[in-house]
Amino acid sequence: MRYSYKFSDAIHLLAYLVVHEGGDCSSKAIAASIEVNPSVVRKLMADLRHAKIIDTQTGKARPSLARPAKEITLFAVFCAIQMDHELLHVDPATNPQEKVGQRIQPVLNHYYARIQDAATTEMRRITIADIVQQINQK
């Protein structure tokens, strides 16, 4: 199973912009913090810029939040980045000739939808300001 860290990296990037406001906010500096290639940061920035979460200017390493951190929810970030937005996935290859294999997919889809709803509800409550507050307390 392969994991995507895009959501985590996008939150990291936004927190970095708040914590280091006025400092070095180049894709290279942010990439060093996340420990990824600067091209990954630039792709995330493009997604976040398209969603109007950050502002950038061509030729200037001064990205900034497009609105206050307390107005940027994790759900907005989750929706902004280009990735699969389903948290859980049902295995489509089950044996339709066997009772469990035949019935498991719709049962899991029902429960997974409930889990997804609960997760998105919580992501709508948590903001980048909450994340930064916790970072600054440590």
| 1-58 pLDDT, tens digit each | 556 799 999 999 999 999 999 999 999 999 999 999 999 999 999 999 999 999 988 8
pLDDT, one tens digit per residue, over 50-68 is 999 999 888 777 899 999 9
Buried b (16+ CB within 10 A) or exposed e, 75-85: bbbbebbeeee
